Every structure is written in structure tokens, then in C-alpha cells.
Amino acid sequence: MTDTAVVAPPGDASLPLDPRGSLSPEVARRLAALVAAAPGRPRRASNAPFDGSVLGEVPICTAEDVAAAAAQARRAQEEWQQVPLAERGAIFLRFHDLLLDHQERLLDIVQLETGKARIDAFAELVDAALTARHYAHSAARHLRSRRRQGVLPVVTRTVEHARPKGLVGVISPWNYPLTLATSDAAPALLAGNAILLKPATETPLTALAAVDLLYEAGLPRDLFRVVCGSGSELGRPLVDAVDYVMFTGSTATGRVLAEQCGRRLIGFSGELGGKNPLIVLPDADPQTAAEGAVRACFSNSGQLCISIERIFVVDELYDRFVAAFLDRVRALRLSRALEWEADMGSLITREQVETVQSHVDDAVARGARLLAGGKARTDVGPLFFEPTVLEGVKEGMALAREETFGPVVALYRARDTAEAIARANDSDYGLNASVWGSASAARPVAAALRAGTVNINDGYGAAWASHDAPMGGMKASGLGRRHGAEGILKYTEAQTVAEQRLVPLAPAGGMSQQQFARIWVGASRVLKRLPFLE
């Protein structure tokens, strides 16, 4: 077994990385000042996964801070909902340009705080820009008032309007802290809402850097407030303060939040966990499928809800696919440099490394075979882990069904396509799936998979980046959708305004109730034969 390639960082690997001014102490203090916390609050350090150095500190908010920030945002929302949609959209088009203009600085900050490779940092920056652009252009189409058929043609004029919910709470994760701090907020803001954001405790500075650019683009500061602290302390106060919650994170936490929202009778949307499958069909090219599978499994070091953790290959292609796949896995480059040559970066925390190692060790101890990787790479950095491939993973192993959320994938040989589909669907999760083969063979397979998104000849990016289409999970992988029409309409209340003209919907002019009923029966028989009238 050959080790994964390593690209050493410039200079002495034992020394802290130079933040190159992108996240200097002055910048970190300026970003921390954007947190909606009362003076004198305790502060929490944000540490660089690459070397453990302190990047900055942010104040830790209390329930009182959440309530105060919510009140500020609500006051701002009353004015914001009156701002013409074209003006709201112009802010997000400026935000799109600012993201691209400041990309080098932002990529440094993302890498320093998350430990990810630069190409993965770039992916989330581009996603934030594309989401902003998409909804800036499409919001008017989704939010426009629509004529609906009234109870009686002509005399009943019925219109459906999309009204803002009011204050939307966004709880964003550490694995994509730049895009998920703003991309879920963008459609909510365009729909006329205010935002109360709680970013992950591991990556607050990245989220604040993104929000800072929104302010620079012209978004009123009180309209988008940020509170920092642990979910256990701020989760319930946030739910109690808002009118809707958008959450990205674990299924366990999502269930808790959904229950809390349900008790308040407010809406909840959550993209939760995944144990995502990839299927290689008999007519797939094994080299192409292997190359795509490596990206699908190990982008962002596997710390991605929609990345692949299970690969099912039909028997006749299995050996050729595995050989090609392993060649590419062993060539992946690990690095802690703020440069472009790395294929994989670090994991985020010591706890994440321990989870990945425990899943691998448990599988090997129970009889699984390690084909590549399998161990932490402290020679590169304290939280690095090799891209890891196993086969022979069976029921009872943690790796078989639990989400690992790291650079680990299990390979399975399937007798035929039917078995691959059945085993892919045999999971509590249903977030994302990938199918490799000809379009004619892959499309029926995609239709048979119980996943919110299915990618043909791609791992996850094609569906995720198609922002005009909904994205979210089935089964235990989530509730609701981001992107597409639902991604903005979920932040609105549907209001029906019906105007009755000429005649009332009641007996009139001396008409008896029985006569009124006979007229309605006759009208119903006539209307049954008429087409739908808008």
C-alpha cells in the first residue's frame, strides 16, 4: 500500500501559518465587532485546524443578546419589506461582485478557519456568488402575485400573494461557513424578511466576513444580525425569537429543533445527515467513474453532507473500477498551505478525527479490509486524515450505516443493477446519490433511488449548483428544500385575497334558501364542464 502524497507547506511545518494579512488580529477584531453582543461578554477563540493557532476571538452571546438582536432585526424588517424588489436584488448583485473581487482574501480566511483545501474554499465562494445572482434575478418571478380561479368566474376575483414571514433564524454549520451563512439568507432577505444568524462556533470569523460584504453591498446592518455561541445555549432562545428556522447540521439536532419549532407552530427547514451512495452501472467507463468518485468522496475532506460514503459497483466492472479508483486515491495530495496545489485539507476538530478513526478501526477489527489510507497524518498537521478506502464492510459495523463525515468510503460488489439499487436505498438517509453510466441506463436508476438529489455522471455538484431546482433530503436527511422556488417561497406566507363583485355568495333579493341551493346545484353542473379559468 502506498501512502497518500503530501505537499509540505512553505517553511517550517512546526511554525504557525502566516495569515498574510487576510485574517490579521486587526481584521479579526473588526469582524468580531459585528456580533450582536452586549459589552463585556466573555470571548471564545477561533483556532486554525492547520496548526491550532488562535485566529481571533468573538464575544459569546446570551439569551438576552438574542432577544435584543431579534428586536433590532424586526424593526428593520418593517421598513425593508417596503423596499422595491428591484432595489433588494441590486444589493445581491453587488454582493455577487464583491465576493469575486475579494476572493483571495476570502479564500485565505476560509482556509485558515476551516482547514480545507483552497479548491474547496473556492467552491463555496462561487456557490455563494451564484446563489446571490440566481435569486437576485429570479425572486420577482417566484414572488409575483398570481391570479387564482375564484369560486365563480368573473364575479369572484381571487389573487394569491407571497408575504414575508418576518424574522428568519439561520443556523449555519462549520463545513461550509461562507456560503451557508449567506446563501440560505439571500432568498429570505429578497422575500422581505430579516435574518438572525447563528454561525457554527468553530467558524464564526468566516461567516462574519461574508456578512460584512453584504453590509458593504448595501444591506442595512440591523436587518441581518449575528449572534455567536453554542447551539445548546442559543438554540432555544433563537427558536423562540424568530418566525421560521433554517438549519443545516446533524439529524439528531434537526429533530430537536423541528420539535421546538412545532411547539411554536413556526416553519422549519433542515438539510441534515447523509450516507450517500454512488452506483457504477455495467456500461460505465471505469476510469471516468473512478475519477468522478474520488471527487465525490474526498472533496472538502469528506466533510460534506452530500459527499459519497458508499460505492456499489456491478460485478463485471468491480475489479477494474477499484484498481482505477485506488490509483487516484493514493495520488491525492494533502497540504496545509494557503495555495492551490492541495487536493485535500485538514479535518475541523480533534473530535472529528476521533470519529473518523473510530469508524475505520471498528470496521477493520470486525473484518473489513483496508485498501488505502486508514490513519491520521500528524506529519502534515494535527487534524489531517488520509483518504481511506475499505471493502468488506458489513452490518454491525459503525461504518455501514452511520454518517462518518470524513474522508472514508466503503466499496461494495453488487451482482447486478437491481441489487445495487436495493442496497443503495437500504439506509435511514436519503440526501444525495450518484449514478455512473449511459443516460439511457442511468435515468431509470435515478428514478428508483430514494434521495432528494441524484446526479448522473457527477457526484453532487451538478444537482447542488442547479440553483433553479430544489435541493434537500428524503427520510432522515431533512425536511423542506433550499434552492428553486421552494427555497424562497418557504420564507413567505401565502395570502389569498378574494374580491366578490356584482352578486353575493348568499340568497339575495327575496330569494329563499332553497332557491339559492337549487341555483348553486345547477351552476355546479355547468361549471363542471368548463375548463379551468385563471
Active site residues per annotation: 271, 305
Please check whether residue 290 is in contact with residue 434, taking contact to mean a CB–CB distance below 8 angstroms.
no
All three cell numbers of 237, joined, read 432562545
| 8 A C-beta contact, residue 457 and residue 436 | yes
The answer to whether 197 and 170 have CB atoms below 8 angstroms apart is: yes
Question: What residue type is assigned to position 219 of the chain?
Answer: L
Q: Are 227 and 207 in contact (CB under 8 A)?
A: no
Note every long-range contact of 453-457, with CB atoms under 8 Å and residues 24 or more positions apart, other chains counting. 453/306, 457/288, 457/292
Dihedral, 412, 415, 420, 423 alpha carbons, nearest 10? -70
Which runs of consecutive H residues, i.e. helices, occur in 46-84?
A: 63-80
Bridging pattern class, strands 333-334 and 5-6: parallel
Q: CB of 125 within 8 A of CB of 22?
A: no
Classify each residue of 155-183 as buried b or exposed e, where b means 16 or more C-beta atoms within 10 Å of its C-beta.
Answer: ebebeeebebbbbbbbbbbbbbbbbbbbb
CB 324 within 8 A of CB 92: no
For the record, the C-alpha cell of 462 comes out as 451538478
